[in-house]
Amino acid sequence: MGVPFEALIPYGIVVAMIGVTGAGLSVVKHFANDGKKARWNLDTWDRVRFIHAVEFGTILANIRTAKDLRLTGQKRGQSGNAVAPKGFELNNPWKLEKRIY
């Protein structure tokens, strides 16, 4: 004897909701990244910043985008300039020690 189709309706609803949720998360991620692909790798700057972030307990998401935000004013903006804009060197959160020699 076959299975009545009414028994399969809940499974169809669950599968449809999983699909809707996945599509919704994809759209939210797309808009959150200014229409660019999500980052999946760290460059050298971000690796060093991540090591210090772990030591001081800050959040990685803020560390990844701090450089782009300070350079361009956008979370995912990128700059192709070889020289940093004026005032960027004073915006560095790292403090340097004074040498005694």
**Whether 63 contacts 45, CB under 8 Å:** no
| 69/41 Cα distance (integer angstroms) | 18
On the CB side of 88, CA atoms within 13 Å amount to: 15
Helix spans in the chain (H): 9-32, 44-56, 60-72
**Whether 63 contacts 50, CB under 8 Å:** yes
pTM: 0.51
**pLDDT, tens only, 39-80:** 776 667 666 666 665 555 555 556 666 777 777 777 777 777
Residue 10 above 80 pLDDT? yes
